[in-house]
């Protein structure tokens, strides 16, 4: 009763920020993302009658407290689907630092869902796997399907899931991640989501979001990179404005984040077409066409204080290894 799965992190182009149902992790709005080829989680899950308790290890550290409870809650969900109550040993490894704005909870819960359901021999559809992953961490539902992904907000647990809108090889765009921080963030996204209602801008954000989803889908369909880039930058600023105006405010950006944002604007004026997006952390995801990757990397290397650069292609979703 053992299985191993890998799942990619994903970058949101239209963001999930705020929930309409906290316990079901139903998002306030739909979102659009791309799975990332070079940042993933590999998780093995083994159920056994011999285990007396659930054991969870993430990146070599034995989980305890809230982290452990969250994984156990998720295992319970999958155990109840299978009607089995054996305890499990979970060993999970990220190939990138967790808690820095690269969605480790997304890849983590997608890999856990995939491995645990396979270990229990559940034959689940992609939709069902996406629903289950969402219950672990909202954006994890988008790390199940392949490539470019849409998460339908839904009105119930079963109708809120993600599906592929284009395969990974549909469009040769790249996400060059400029890592500026590798310390775990102070406020988790789970906590951050609960603050949205306190921002006076949140209602305004929701008024335009469905139109934005339509527009970005059109930009994807027509491979209009300029339009696509303009939408993702506006959207990242929009979400971070809600974060910064929440009570208490959430500042995920650092001075370095802002320096990179400004540099990207300068590059564009000089003819290098790249755009930024940022999730719940200080790292900047620089989105460009494949042909411009080397130039983007060269420009980033000129900025002092960037700790690492990771070039991602669009990727497949979660897989059994």
Name the residues that contact ligand PMV, by CB under 6 A.
Answer: 12, 15-17, 31, 103, 105-106, 137-139, 189-190, 193, 279-280
CB closer to ligand PMV out of 189 and 257: 189
- Closest CB 96 distance from ligand PMV, rounded Å: 14
CB closer to ligand PMV out of 20 and 87: 20
**318, 6 contact by CB (below 8 A):** yes
Stated as kind and residue range, the H or E segment containing 149 is strand 148-151
Tokens of 21: 């149902």
CB closer to ligand PMV out of 237 and 321: 237
- Closest CB 108 distance from ligand PMV, rounded Å: 10
CB closer to ligand PMV out of 94 and 139: 139
* Sign, CA torsion 91/97/99/105: negative
CB closer to ligand PMV out of 3 and 103: 103
- Residue 140 makes CB contacts below 8 A (sequence gap 6+) with 7, 105, 106, 107, 108, 109, 110, 113, 133, 134
- Closest CB 240 distance from ligand PMV, rounded Å: 9
CB closer to ligand PMV out of 71 and 103: 103
**176, 43 contact by CB (below 8 A):** no
- Residue 224 makes CB contacts below 8 A (sequence gap 6+) with 218
- Closest CB 120 distance from ligand PMV, rounded Å: 24
**Vertex 277: Cα angle to 184 and 129 (nearest 5):** 70
Q: How far apart are CA 73 and CA 68, in angstroms?
A: 9
- Closest CB 34 distance from ligand PMV, rounded Å: 11
Nearest to 1 by CA among 60, 87, 106: 87
Q: How far apart are CA 15 and CA 139, in angstroms?
A: 9
CB closer to ligand PMV out of 215 and 279: 279
- Closest CB 188 distance from ligand PMV, rounded Å: 8
- Residue 198 makes CB contacts below 8 A (sequence gap 6+) with 246, 247
- Closest CB 309 distance from ligand PMV, rounded Å: 20
Which neighbouring-strand residues pair with 56? 90
């Amino acid at each position: 009763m053992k299985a191993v799965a890998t799942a990619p992190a994903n970058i949101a182009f239209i963001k999930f920020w705020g929930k309409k149902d906290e316990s079901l992790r139903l998002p306030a709005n739909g979102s659009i993302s791309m799975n990332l080829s070079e940042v993933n989680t590999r998780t093995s899950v083994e159920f056994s009658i011999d285990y007396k308790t659930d054991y969870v290890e993430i990146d070599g550290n034995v989980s305890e407290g809230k982290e452990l409870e969250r994984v156990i809650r998720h295992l319970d969900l999958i155990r109840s689907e299978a009607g089995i109550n054996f305890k499990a040993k979970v060993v999970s490894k990220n190939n990138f630092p967790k808690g820095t704005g690269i969605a480790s909870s997304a890849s983590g819960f997608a890999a856990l869902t995939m491995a645990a359901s396979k270990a229990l021999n559940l034959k689940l559809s992609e939709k069902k796997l996406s629903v289950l992953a969402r219950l672990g961490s909202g954006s994890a539902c988008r790390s199940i399907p392949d490539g470019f992904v849409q998460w339908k907000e839904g009105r119930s647990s079963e109708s809120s899931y993600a599906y592929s809108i284009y395969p990974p090889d549909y469009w040769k765009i790249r996400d060059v991640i400029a890592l500026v921080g590798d310390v775990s963030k102070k406020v988790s996204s789970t906590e951050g989501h609960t603050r949205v209602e306190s921002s006076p801008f949140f209602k305004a954000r929701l008024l335009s979001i469905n139109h934005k989803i339509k527009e970005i889908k059109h930009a994807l369909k027509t491979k209009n990179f300029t339009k696509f880039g303009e939408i993702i930058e506006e959207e990242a600023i929009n979400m971070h404005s809600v974060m910064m105006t929440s009570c208490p405010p959430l500042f995920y950006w650092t001075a370095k984040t802002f320096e990179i944002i400004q540099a990207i604007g300068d590059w564009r004026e000089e003819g290098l077409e790249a755009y930024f997006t940022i999730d719940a952390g200080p790292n900047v995801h620089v989105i460009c066409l494949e042909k411009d990757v080397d130039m983007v990397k060269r420009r980033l290397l000129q900025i002092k204080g960037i700790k690492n650069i990771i070039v991602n292609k669009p990727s497949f979703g979660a897989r059994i290894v």
